[in-house]
Structure 1
Amino acid sequence: MARLGISVYPEHDSMENIKKYIDLAADHGFKRIFSCLLSVTDKSGDEIREEFRELNDYAHEKGMEVIYDVAPAVLKHIGVEWNDLSFFKDMHADGIRLDEGFDGMKESLMTCNPEGLKIEVNASFGNGYIDNICSHHPDRSKLTTCHNFYPQRYSGLSLKHFRKCNEDIKKNNLPIAAFIGSSRPGTFGPWPVSEGLCTLEDHRDLPLDAQARLLIAEGNVDDILIANCYATPEEFDELCKLQPGVLNLKPVLERPLQEGERKVLFEHQHYVRGDMSEYSARSTFPRVTYADESIKPQTCRDMKRRDIVILNDGYGRYKGELHIVLKDMPADPRKNVIGHIPEGEHELLNALQPWRPFVVIQ
């Protein structure tokens, strides 16, 4: 994950509120802004250029990049030809995203625009569209990809299709962005539908940071964008706890932790032991670091897939190992169950592979 980003929709709120949201995002280290011209149908090209220039200039002051969602019909509406993108340079935008495209050749030539704008293409088609663009020798330094978001419940991408699209894109060495959505009441996007905004349907009702953890776990998503307005300061705080490039786990704790358990869980660097069992993913080095730390037997119940276990004093030299349960096992008085991976985040278990680093988020 290279960057985090937000989305803003000036046609639906005041510039004052949008600037406050940009401030919040910038203060949390966010670097991207997505906005949409598909839904701006009541303004002329000149009006759009003047109104959005203020937004772009403010975003740049905060160190953020702004890319606008367009389509051939939008370009026609504002009087822009595909081979002359000076309108967006005059608007002080950093690039455009083509929600719908042309013929491959045009997209490739668009990346060579003298204005230096980024051309971001739709990553969700999965039909060879991006291969076609790349066959025409685009300027790859200006070509990026971004998935759709889906306002309608049950319309988001399946994980299978998402992975196929990403695999095809990465063969062309292009960046990938995808969307997550806040589920708090009152959020909105560009369209008058409030059923959440996300790229993957399975993410729709999950907490914002859980959606981000799952995208990071895929290992090939470069930028993660919040699709709807307005995420809360608390949601921003949770996103900023995540480590890019590492599997991030956030367990539900079942009881207060002993001090030794707390140190093992949160203070030690973890990776999955290479000789991995089908029953659990083991982080074994905490047993060395905390060899002198006592961990009393507690909550030694039957172990279910998704449980997190720490070995107690009864296991001798193995005391302090952290196990993530992948297959049900009977209770063992030497193994403390301290919590579990939340429902809906089971794909994080599938991402636990030999030698893969992971962190545990409080």
Structure 2
Amino acid sequence: MFRRLGVSIYPNNSIFEEDLAYLTFAKSQGFERVFMSMLEVTEGKSAVSDKFSKIISTAKKLDYEVILDIAPNIFDELGMSYDDLRFFADLGADGLRLDIGFDGNKEAMLSFNPYGLIIELNMSNDVAYLDNILTYEANKPFIYGCHNFYPQEGSALPLVFFESCSERFRKYGIRTAAFISSQVATNGPWNINDGLPTLEMHRHLPIEVQAKHLFATGLIDDVIIGNAYASEDELIALGQLNRYQLEFSVDFLPNVNPIERDIVCHNQHFRRGDITEQMIRSTQVRKVYKADNPCHDNQMIFECGDIVIGNDYFGKYKNELQIVLEAHADKRKNKVGQIRKNELFLLDYIRPWTKFRFIE
């Protein structure tokens, strides 16, 4: 399934002109969907219609897909019923995220709404919620899944639980989404905002590392920035991200030579299928690069995340690239650089035959 980037907008807590500027710049960086919260509305149907239709129509002109986050209190506030979704269709929305679920049959019925609105389900519960809905013969092409975000420090999901929840949706081929958090944004739905990630381990990581991780799991199709507004630098970094394979950020050593730099940065790497625990081996490059490779930075203990390349004393393995997983010493290898520390955990996602690249 193709992968997308998204941003979040909070019309009840923002200024239209700032939302417009944010959406416009994000679109220029390749963002394609908007999460828009309606959980905070208190102004009545007419005022809500005016406010949301204006920003939604703007987002649609920029060719975004717009999903509104709703809960039962919204229907009470607006004097509406779940049985009639015309109000949201008239606003111009593409879909509704149900923050709170029903009995399964209701969600299935909603997926057949006459307006073609997507029904997005809350993914952050490790129960057979989706299975129940699908047993009621839901309109599967109109069902999405989206995790929660968590404004309070320490309250977001642990990785193992996240994976279990996500697998329930992935096995049915449902489009999935999760949230990452800007390190500078301060706007969200509530008056507590310690960041808005889905995974607690992401809360203080650079935003592009969070996105790399979600895509690397193979469980998430749409990565959405939960808080607003992310900085232009963050949006640019995400826009440049390879969504379909891991690209590790590398810090080179001063003595790296041009051949080694070329091997690292200008090749499609993949891990051998017959793996070893000590290192990740990219072996095809040694068949292409036959040039001499004198020794340098080879008399040390290599640590996890170090990138090493076979030197002239490594025989047929000269110019083979390896990523160190277990500390060891070998004078036949030159250390050329290291993967940044905040990306080391991503090495867990390099499996047999996994494709990967490096960026300086």
TM-score (norm 2): 0.95
Measured against aligned partners, the alpha-carbon deviations of 1:164-195 in whole angstroms (never above 9, x if no partner) come to 011111222211101101112x5321112231
Greater displacement, 195-204 / 307-316: 307-316
Query: Which residue pairs with 1:281 in the alignment?
Result: 280
Q: Would the alpha carbon gap of residues 71 and 254 (structure 1) be closer, same or farther in structure 2, given more than 3 Å must change? A: farther
Query: Which residue pairs with 2:357 in the alignment?
Result: 359
Contact 2:56 2:66 in 1 (8 A): yes
State the distance in 1 between where 2:209 and 2:47 align: 39
Contact 2:302 2:328 in 1 (8 A): yes
In the alignment, structure 1 segments of 5+ residues that lack a partner are none
Is 1:138 aligned to 2:138, yes or no?
yes
Letter of the structure 2 residue corresponding to residue 322 of structure 1? L
Q: Percent identity?
A: 39
Query: Which residue pairs with 1:101 in the alignment?
Result: 101
Query: Which residue pairs with 1:336 in the alignment?
Result: 334
Measured against aligned partners, the alpha-carbon deviations of 1:58-86 in whole angstroms (never above 9, x if no partner) come to 11111111111111112221122111100
Greater displacement, 248-257 / 308-317: 248-257
Displacement of 1:2 after TM fit? 1.2
Letter of the structure 2 residue corresponding to residue 52 of structure 1? F
Displacement of 1:19 after TM fit? 0.6
Contact 1:213 1:249 in 2 (8 A): no
Query: Which residue pairs with 1:243 in the alignment?
Result: 242
Query: Which residue pairs with 1:7 in the alignment?
Result: 8
Number of residue pairs aligned between Structure 1 and Structure 2: 358
**Residue of structure 1 aligned with 2:297, choices 296, 299, 307:** 299
Query: Which residue pairs with 2:269 in the alignment?
Result: 270
Displacement of 1:198 after TM fit? 0.5
Contact 1:108 1:136 in 2 (8 A): yes
Contact 2:12 2:41 in 1 (8 A): yes
Letter of the structure 1 residue corresponding to residue 297 of structure 2? T
Contact 1:242 1:361 in 2 (8 A): no
Q: Would the alpha carbon gap of residues 48 and 246 (structure 1) be closer, same or farther in structure 2, given more than 3 Å must change? A: same
Query: Which residue pairs with 2:85 in the alignment?
Result: 85
Contact 1:291 1:317 in 2 (8 A): no
Measured against aligned partners, the alpha-carbon deviations of 1:33-62 in whole angstroms (never above 9, x if no partner) come to 001111223x11221111111111111111
State the distance in 2 between where 1:179 and 1:168 align: 18
In the alignment, structure 2 segments of 5+ residues that lack a partner are none
Partner SS, residue 323 of structure 1: strand
Partner SS, residue 345 of structure 1: helix
Contact 1:134 1:172 in 2 (8 A): no
State the distance in 1 between where 2:179 and 2:293 align: 41
Contact 2:255 2:296 in 1 (8 A): no
State the distance in 2 between where 1:45 and 1:327 align: 61
Query: Which residue pairs with 1:228 in the alignment?
Result: 227
Measured against aligned partners, the alpha-carbon deviations of 1:223-244 in whole angstroms (never above 9, x if no partner) come to 0001111112221222122222
Q: Would the alpha carbon gap of residues 157 and 256 (structure 1) be closer, same or farther in structure 2, given more than 3 Å must change? A: farther
- 1:1-362 aligned at under 5 Å gives the runs 2-41=3-42, 43-184=43-184, 186-255=185-254, 257-292=256-291, 294-300=292-298, 301-330=300-329, 332-362=330-360
State the distance in 1 between where 2:246 and 2:156 align: 23
State the distance in 2 between where 1:200 and 1:31 align: 22
Partner SS, residue 178 of structure 1: strand
Displacement of 1:121 after TM fit? 0.6
Contact 1:217 1:248 in 2 (8 A): no
The alignment's C-alpha RMSD in Å is 1.5
State the distance in 2 between where 1:240 and 1:255 align: 29
Q: Would the alpha carbon gap of residues 256 and 67 (structure 1) be closer, same or farther in structure 2, given more than 3 Å must change? A: farther
State the distance in 1 between where 2:253 and 2:189 align: 40
State the distance in 2 between where 1:311 and 1:193 align: 52
Contact 2:56 2:92 in 1 (8 A): yes
State the distance in 2 between where 1:333 and 1:137 align: 63
State the distance in 2 between where 1:253 and 1:235 align: 23
Measured against aligned partners, the alpha-carbon deviations of 1:307-334 in whole angstroms (never above 9, x if no partner) come to 222222332332222111111112x222
Partner SS, residue 314 of structure 1: helix
Contact 1:241 1:361 in 2 (8 A): no
Displacement of 1:254 after TM fit? 4.3
State the distance in 2 between where 1:199 and 1:240 align: 20
Displacement of 1:103 after TM fit? 1.1
